């Protein structure tokens, strides 16, 4: 979810559902992550998306969560609190027969506190564009330990809003596309895990 949203559909750009268009609820402040952003993001995540457990915390249009599922994620938990948006997401899940996608009806900030350690490999954080929630969300994810070591959190925010990673996280990718800043953070692994990982870093 982000800025103003005049688009009434979102197109899945890769994977099993490539080219499928899904409806977008007519709700102020709702818009899908752009095609260029998603293409860039999933190019970054390509080595890890297959069989990943993913969380889409501010699901909105569902663009990020459905893209992940289309590309082979084992599970996607979408969290959305707006009733009309929930309805449209449910329709899309049914339309795609997306058995790996589950929708939680409620707010992301409170739901984070219920996450168990090591629940996710990848978490998408795309809150309302000018909310400044992303940094707080990342801090809460760090405290719960819900993202496995070596896992990722993707944050989409206004271009000039850089977030510093907490704890044992580091910036993995950082790019601006137009008025959007794309930051991908990775939770560091223990030394013995790192030695076994072909992570493609520096």
202 belongs to a structural domain: no
2 belongs to a structural domain: no
Secondary structure (DSSP) of 115-159: PPTT-EEEEEE---TTS--HHHHHHHHHHHT-EEEEEEEEEEEET
Tell me how many domains the chain contains.
1
Alpha helices in 17-96 (DSSP H): 35-49, 63-70, 83-96
Residue 35: strand, helix, or coil: helix
Structure token digits, residue 27? 């709700």
Nearest to 32 by CA among 71, 66, 62: 62
Q: What is the pLDDT of residues 110-140, one digit of tens each?
A: 999 999 999 999 999 998 877 888 899 999 9
- Residue 171: CB partners within 8 Å, gap ≥ 6? 165, 183, 184, 185
The DSSP code for 2 is -
- pLDDT in the model for residue 200: 52
- The percentage of the chain sitting over the pLDDT mark of 90, rounded to a whole number, equals 73
- Residue 162: CB partners within 8 Å, gap ≥ 6? 174, 181, 183
pTM score:
0.89
98 belongs to a structural domain: yes
- pLDDT in the model for residue 131: 80
49 belongs to a structural domain: yes
CATH code of the domain containing 130: 3.40.50.150
Nearest to 182 by CA among 164, 149, 150, 156: 156
3 belongs to a structural domain: no
Q: Is 45 within 8 Å of 123 (Cβ atoms)?
A: no
Domain with 78, as residue range(s), is 9-196
pLDDT at 74 over 60: yes
């Amino acid at each position: 979810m982000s800025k103003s949203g005049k688009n009434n559909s979102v197109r899945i750009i890769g994977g099993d559902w490539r080219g499928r268009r899904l409806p977008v609820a007519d709700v102020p402040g709702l818009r899908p992550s752009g095609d260029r952003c998603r293409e860039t993001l999933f190019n970054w995540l390509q080595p890890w998306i297959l069989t990943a457990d993913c969380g889409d915390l501010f699901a909105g249009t569902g663009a990020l969560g459905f893209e992940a599922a289309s590309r082979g994620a084992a599970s996607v938990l979408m969290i959305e609190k707006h009733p009309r948006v929930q309805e449209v997401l449910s329709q899309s899940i049914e339309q795609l027969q997306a058995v790996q996608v589950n929708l939680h009806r409620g707010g992301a900030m409170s739901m984070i506190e219920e996450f168990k350690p090591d629940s996710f490999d990848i978490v998408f954080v795309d809150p309302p564009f000018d909310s400044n929630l992303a940094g707080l969300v990342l801090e809460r994810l760090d405290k719960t330990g819900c993202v496995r070591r070596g896992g990722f959190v993707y944050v989409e925010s206004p271009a000039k809003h850089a977030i510093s990673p907490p704890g044992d996280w580091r910036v993995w990718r950082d790019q601006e596309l137009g008025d959007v800043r794309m930051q991908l953070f990775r939770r560091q692994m223990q030394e013995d895990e790192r030695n076994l990982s072909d992570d493609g870093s520096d």
